[in-house]
Amino acid sequence: MFSISRKLRTLLVGAILALNTSFALCEELTKVVIKTSMGEIVLELYPEKAPRTVENFIRYVKAGHYSNTIFHRVIGNFMIQGGGFDQKMKEKPTNKPVALEARYALDHGLKNEIGTIAMARTNDPNSATAQFFINVSDNDFLNHQILPEGDPVQYLRRGEIISAPRAQALLATAGYTPFGKVIKGMETVEKIKSVQTGNSGMMENVPSVVITIESIKLLK
């Protein structure tokens, strides 16, 4: 057995405390709070599972992009979507799109399950900018799917087997990138998903009452 000096012991304890503090700070930087007109939602983000997507989201958060945007699309058995329109239904300008990381996220165990947050996009897999959605169901069909060889091919969509030409199927099965999960405030998500919806111009599933995202901020 050997003993270590009091000075060395003090240095070791200090180093451990500093390391723990560093880990705690990193952990705090991956949490955000969404303040809405219906309550708060706290998210934990996973940069190790979707690094570019988390970086993109945090960039918008730090820029204040989400303040006074709305949840503009709500489908009660599917998801709630927001972050792109102001209260007058005017779309906000965005940065360049972020590359799709749906397969990377899936390979690291992150799926479009209840409570996860993911990036919204157009039919172009690499078109996600600022809009996001929170899954209120286990939406496995939104995960990246690896297609078998052959043309035409079959893939799964909302639990139904679909046959399509390979080029079309590749777009449909590219997936949507989840990058975090609700760790507090699912009751707020439940409130939002339960609101009545209708049409607003060309848009469907728009809440009949304005649901404001007052701010999204990093938790410190």
Secondary structure in 3-state letters for the chain:
CCCCCHHHHHHHHHHHHHHHHHHHHHHHHCEEEEEECCEEEEEEECCCCCHHHHHHHHHHHHHCCCCCEEEEEEECCCEEEEEEEECCCCECCCCCCECCCHHHHHHCCCCCCCCEEEECCCCCCCCECCCEEEECCCCHHHCCCCCCCCCCEEEEECCEEEEECHHHHHHHCCCCCEEEEEEECHHHHHHHHCCCEEEECCEEEEECCCCEEEEEEECC
- By C-alpha distance, which of 180, 112, 116 is closest to 145? 112
Regions of the chain short of the pLDDT cut 70 = 1-29
Domain limits of the chain? 30-147+175-218
- By C-alpha distance, which of 214, 179, 205, 164 is closest to 41? 214
Determine the pLDDT at residue 166.
Answer: 83
Determine the pLDDT at residue 23.
Answer: 44
Q: What are phi and psi of 12, to 5 degrees?
A: -65, -45
d(CA 64, CA 208): 25
Share of the chain above pLDDT 70, in %: 87
Determine the pLDDT at residue 21.
Answer: 45
Determine the pLDDT at residue 75.
Answer: 98
Query: What is the reported pTM?
Result: 0.84
Q: Which residues pair with 27 in a beta bridge?
A: none
- By C-alpha distance, which of 187, 194, 192, 198 is closest to 213? 192
CATH T-level topology, domain 30-147+175-218: Cyclophilin (2.40.100)
pLDDT per residue over 140-176, tens digit each? 999 999 888 777 788 878 778 888 888 888 888 999 9
